[in-house]
Structure 1
Amino acid sequence: MIANTSLVFAEADHAALREHLFPGDGLEASAVLLCSRFEGTRTKLLLKDWIPVPYEACKVRLVDAITWPGEYLERAIDQAEKEGLTILLTHSHPGGFLEFSQVDDDSDAISVRALCQAIDRAHGSAIMIDSGEMRARLYNSLMVPSFIDLVTVVGHDIHYWWADSRAECPPMAFTSEMKAYLRRLVVAVVGVSGTGSIVAEQVARLGFGRVILIDHDCVELKNLNRILNSTVEHAIASTPKTEMFAQAITRMRGENVAVSINDSLATRHAVLAAAEADVIFSCVDTKEARMIADRLAAAFLIPLFDVGVTIPTYKTVDGHDAIIDVAGRIDYVRPGGPTLEERGVYSPESLHAEYLLRVNKDAHEEQVNLGYFKGIQDEAPSVITLNMRAASACVSEFIARAFPFREEPNSNYARTRFSLSGCEEDYCREDFWPIHANLLLASGCSEPLLGIPSLGRRQSNAA
C-alpha cells in the first residue's frame, strides 16, 4: 500500500538530529521538530527546522526516561504559529526499542494536547534509535494517534523506513523484493517524450505503486520513432503524450497506477501533482522546466534525477555536417546539495535567452540549439539508442541510491557523463560545485509557490 503520510528529512538535518539525540552517554535526549505540511492526496511533513533541547536543561535524563522544560515547547509554538508549521516532539531510545512506550503515550497525552490547543492543527511525536531509524505519529482532534506511514531521509543514499515493518537494510537491488518495496512509492516523470517515455516504461515495469506523468505536448508523426508506446493512431488523433502513456501503463499494470497530467510543469497544477512523488525524474528539454524541477525538489525534499542528451556537430572544411560527440548526462540532486543551477545546467542568462527565443517566433537560427543536434535542425532525429542509454543510466542511478550496490560510495556519483564517440564515462562529486544556502528548502507550499510569482495561488486562480 502506498504511504498516505510521510515525514521527510534532508540528510544533513537528519544527521545533525541524530548526533544530538545520541551524544554517546547512553541516555535519552530530546528535540522539537518543525515541519512544513503538504496536503494533497497524501500528507507530507517536511522537516524545515528543529530545536535541540540542551542536555543540561533536562530535569531527568535516564536510559529510559527524560523530562525537559516547557520553554522549548513555547519557542516551538511561537515559530510554528508564525510559519504555519506542524510540531513533532522527538526523543531517542538508546536501548534500540523502536516502539512508543506507555510512558511516551502518557507524556504525549499532556504535551501534544497542549500543542493542539495552542495551534489548531494535528501535531505529534517521534522516536529515533541509534541507527537513525525513526517512528512518528500524529494525533487527531480527539487525541487518537496514527502512525506516519513512511519516514524518508534523502541523501547520497535514500532511506525509507516504514511504520509497519522493521528493516535493518533495504532489499537487495534488482530482486523481486525490490519490486515489492517500490510498490509503496510514488514516482513522477516530467517530460514523456524521447528519454521520458523510456524512463516511464522502466519505472512502470519496476513496479512503482503510482506513476505520475507530466507533459503538455501531444503525439506527432515526427516523434513516433523515439516515444515508446506511441502509434500512428495516437499521432493522427493528437493524443496527449501523458494520456497515451497512461493507457499503456494501464494495459501493463492495471487501473489506478498511472496519473496523467496533461499540463506544463510551469503550472501550479503540475507542480502540486509532482509534489506528491517520492522521487522525480526530469526528462525535459527546456531550461525553464529544469529550473522548476530543481526548485520543486528542494521545496518538497524530493530526490531529483535529471537526464539530458546532446549531439554537438561542426562543419567540415568541405561544408559537410559532422558529429563531434554523442553524449549524455545524469545529475542526482539531493535536497541541500548543489542544485542544477549551481551545477551550470541552467542560469539566469540561459533562462532569459530561452524566453526571448520562445517569444520571437522568427529566431530560426537560434532554435537549432534546442534540439538533439547542436547546429543542425532535424524534425525526426533517430536517437532512440542514445535515449535508451541515458534513460537506463538515470533509472539505475535511483536504484543505486535506494538499494545500494556500488563498490564505491554513492557520494562519488553526483553527476555521470558518458561519451559514445569517445567510449568514455566519467563522474563528479558534489564538491566539484559551490553550494549556497537554499531558502526554498522544505518550504513546501509557501506562497508564491516555489518562489515563482506566476505559480502563486492568486495568479493561478486568475488564469
Structure 2
Amino acid sequence: MNYDVALTHGAHSLARQHLLQHFNVGHLQEDLCFALWRPSTAANRLTALIDEVLIPQEEDRLLHGNTSFTPDYMARAITSARRMNTGLAFMHSHPGTGWQDMSPTDVVAERDVLAYPAAATEQPLLGLTIGSDGYWSARLWIHNGQAFERYWCDKVRVIGPKTFEVQFGRYAASPDSRRNVLRRTFDTWGLHGQQTLSRLHIGIVGLGSVGSSVAESIARLGVERVTIVDPDQVEEHNLDRLLNATIDDIGKRKVDVAAKAMRQHSTAAHPQVLTYATSVHKADAYRAILECDVIFSCVDRPIARDVLNYVAIAHLVPVIDGGIAVQLDALQDGIFSAHWRTQLVTPYHRCMRCSEQYSTGMVMTELDGSLDDPSYLNTLPEDGASAGANVFPFSQSLASMEVNLMLRYLLAPSWWKGIHGQTHQLVTGETYIDAERCEPSCAFSNRVAKGDLEHPFYLTASVGTSDRRPARTRLSRLASFFERIFGRT
C-alpha cells in the first residue's frame, strides 16, 4: 500500500499562513496546529484528504523556539475528529527548506504522545511538517499489532483554483534524469517541470478518438505510469478516427491497442501502462482510477461522467473533461457547425453536472438501458445535432486542448491567468474561455474532500474502506475511554 496526502488550496493556505507566520517576519519560531482528514481508498493507495484546519488560540500551544500543544487543544481536536467522523492530522513547521525529516522530539510527539489518543478516531494519526518555503512532508502512524509504525507518504498534492502543486517525498519514485530523447521537452519547461510531470500517475477514461490521441501525447511526454479504462472493442467504423488502430485490430480491446502503442512510443525510462477493459463504474476500475493524480475524461456517457465528477470533487483528483458537438445540415447533406470544449473539474471549478454535460435523469436513463435501445432513441426530439458525427481532426484538436489544459494547470507560473475551460467554434474560428462556477445549489459542493463517504449509489460492488486502522479491540477501549473523559461532542 502506498500513501499520499491531498489538500484543498484553502486548507493549505490557512495552515501555511499560520505555521509560517513567525518565519515570515524573521523569527526562528516553529508553530503547530491540528487538522481533520478523511480517507480516499484506492486499490493500492490510501490518500488522506484535508479540507479543514483547526487553528489554535494563543493559550492552546507554548512557543519556545520549538513548540508544544496543550492537552486541552489536543482533546478538542480529537473530539472534533470523532464528531465529524474523520482522522486527526498534526501539522507543525520547521525552519529548513524542502522536504523535512523528523527530529527525535518530533517522533516522540507523534508516535508516543499523539498516536495512541488519536486512535480514538478509528483512523491512524497523520503527521505533516512544512518547511519555511511551504514544502510539505507527511507520514501515517499505523499500528502493527504491537506498536505504531511510521509510513512515509509519497506525495502531497495541493488542488487549487489556478495551479496544481505536487510535492514529492524523499522516498517516492526517483525523478527522471535529463535524456536526449526528451531534450526538447526538458528545454520547454525545465528540469523541475518534467520531473514533476513524469512522476504523476495519469488516468485516461475512454480510449476512442479523443482518448487514443490523449494517450499518445501522454506517452511521448515521458509519463511513467498510466491507467487506461475502456470496455469497448475496435470496430470497423472506428478506423477513420482511432489513432494507432488498423484493420488488423478490429475485434481487439481498445485498451490493448492503446497500451501497445503507448509502450512502443513512450519516452519514459520505465513506462507502465495498466489496462482495465471494463466500465469505470465497475468496482475494480473505480478503485484503480482513484490511484491517479490527474484523470482525462474522454467519454460521452452520463454514468462515466457522474463517476468522474465524484472522483474530482470528493476525492480531490483533478479531472479534465471534453466533448465534441457537430450539427448537420440535412438539406445540404453536410456539416452546419461544430464546436469542441474542455473543462477542468475540481472543487474550485464548475462540475460536469452544472456545466450540463450530464444530468441525474440521463444517468437513470443509461442505468435502465434506454440509451442502448433504438426504439427509445427514435422517440427523442431532433435538434440538428448528431451524436456520432465526428472526424479525426476534430478529435485531435480536442485531445490537444485537454492535454494543454492539464499542462497549464500543472506547470503554469502563478501570474498566468486561471482558465476553467475552453470552447472552440469551428464556424467563427474563435476560442472562448470558460470562467463559470457551480450553481449555488450544486449538491457536489457538500461532497468536497469527503473521500470514501461519497460515491455513486450504483457502483457494482463495495469500493471498500481503509484497512490501515489499529486493532478493533484497542480502538473500542480508546474510544470508550475518550468518550467517558471528554464526551462524544
TM-score between both structures, scaled by the size of structure 2: 0.79
- Which range moved further: 269-278 or 346-355? 346-355
Q: Name which structure has the greater RCO, CA cutoff 8 Å, separation 6+.
A: 2
Separation in 2, partners of 1:195, 1:111: 52
CA contact (8 A) 1:283 1:308 kept: yes
Separation in 1, partners of 2:399, 2:224: 20
| Aligned match of 2:457 | 452
> In the alignment, does 2:242 pair up with 1:242?
no
Q: Does the residue aligned with 2:405 lie in a helix, a strand or coil?
A: helix
> In the alignment, does 2:123 pair up with 1:125?
no
Q: Does the residue aligned with 2:300 lie in a helix, a strand or coil?
A: coil
| Aligned match of 2:423 | 417
CA contact (8 A) 1:29 1:53 kept: no
Letter in 1 for 2:13: A
Separation in 1, partners of 2:324, 2:458: 31
Separation in 2, partners of 1:398, 1:217: 26
> In the alignment, does 2:301 pair up with 1:286?
yes
| Aligned match of 1:153 | 158
> In the alignment, does 2:209 pair up with 1:203?
no
- Which range moved further: 240-249 or 78-87? 78-87
Letter in 1 for 2:7: F
> In the alignment, does 2:165 pair up with 1:162?
no
For residues 31-79 of structure 1, what are the alpha-carbon distances to aligned partners after superposition, in whole Å with 9 as ceiling and x for unaligned? 2222222252223221153322223322x124x3212222333344345
Give the count of matched residue pairs: 438
Displacement, 1:146?
3.8
Displacement, 1:13?
1.9
> In the alignment, does 2:75 pair up with 1:74?
yes
Separation in 2, partners of 1:186, 1:291: 21
- Which range moved further: 328-337 or 221-230? 328-337
Q: How does 1:16-31 map to 2 (within 5 A)?
A: 16-23=14-21, 26=27, 27-31=29-33
CA contact (8 A) 2:137 2:153 kept: yes
Separation in 2, partners of 1:176, 1:132: 20
CA contact (8 A) 1:188 1:212 kept: yes
TM-score between both structures, scaled by the size of structure 1: 0.84
Q: 1:398 aligns with which of 406, 413, 416?
A: 406
CA contact (8 A) 1:368 1:377 kept: no
| Aligned match of 1:15 | 13
Q: Does the residue aligned with 1:401 lie in a helix, a strand or coil?
A: helix
| Unaligned segments of structure 2, at least 5 residues | 176-185, 465-489
Separation in 2, partners of 1:177, 1:132: 16
Separation in 1, partners of 2:446, 2:76: 21
State the superposition RMSD in angstroms. Answer: 3.3
Q: How does 1:35-50 map to 2 (within 5 A)?
A: 35-37=37-39, 38-50=41-53
Q: How does 1:316-331 map to 2 (within 5 A)?
A: 319-331=331-343
| Aligned match of 1:114 | 116
Displacement, 1:241?
0.8
> In the alignment, does 2:354 pair up with 1:342?
yes
Q: 1:190 aligns with which of 205, 210, 229?
A: 205
- Which range moved further: 354-363 or 391-400? 354-363
Q: Does the residue aligned with 1:308 lie in a helix, a strand or coil?
A: strand
% identical equivalent positions: 22
Q: Does the residue aligned with 1:393 lie in a helix, a strand or coil?
A: helix
Separation in 2, partners of 1:301, 1:196: 22
> In the alignment, does 2:445 pair up with 1:442?
no
Q: Does the residue aligned with 2:428 lie in a helix, a strand or coil?
A: coil
| Unaligned segments of structure 1, at least 5 residues | none
